[in-house]
Amino acid sequence: MITSTRGIALIKQFEGCRLTAYLCPAGVATIGVGHTGSDVTLADVRHGRTITQAQADALLARDLRTTEAAVSRCVKVALTQGQFDALVSFAYNLGAGTLQRASLLASLNQGDYAGAANDLLDYVSAHVNGVRRVLPGLVARRRAEQALFNA
């Protein structure tokens, strides 16, 4: 599967697009549409680096393919498009490793779709200045992912 326009819109809504690198609330250098990795044309993302909109779009497309592949590898049950999109958004935000370790994946792979949808709401906090805090933006994102998952 690939992410639908609805799933991409959800990711863009919560990630935003910033052409100058910045530190996210968890202190991670980020650029474009939530890109945090490295790229051969950008080297490492670091505070203050700038890119073009075309570069941001290319990074998003590449990051989506990587995330989609990770979701497809992890999930062992059939998914609707909304469920796939919600999981891609989740993994795009928190990383494939978090998805692999997530209770929601265990529930999902046991066929407990409702349990997996409910488990999404367990991932609403991040370390900010060394303290784990519930972030309103993550609460809103997980609720939106949950709605998409259940659509």
- d(CA 29, CA 23) in angstroms, rounded, equals 5
Handedness of CA 149, 117, 73, 96 (dihedral sign): positive
Identified catalytic residue from 17, 24, 74, 145: 24
Single-letter code of the amino acid located at 93: N
Identified catalytic residue from 15, 17, 68, 145: 15
Active-site annotation holds for 15: yes
Instruction: Burial-class residue 148 by CB neighbours within 10 Å (0-12, 13-18, 19+).
Output: buried
Q: Residue for token digits 């995330």?
A: 67
CB 116 within 8 A of CB 149: yes
Which residues are catalytically annotated? Answer: 15, 24
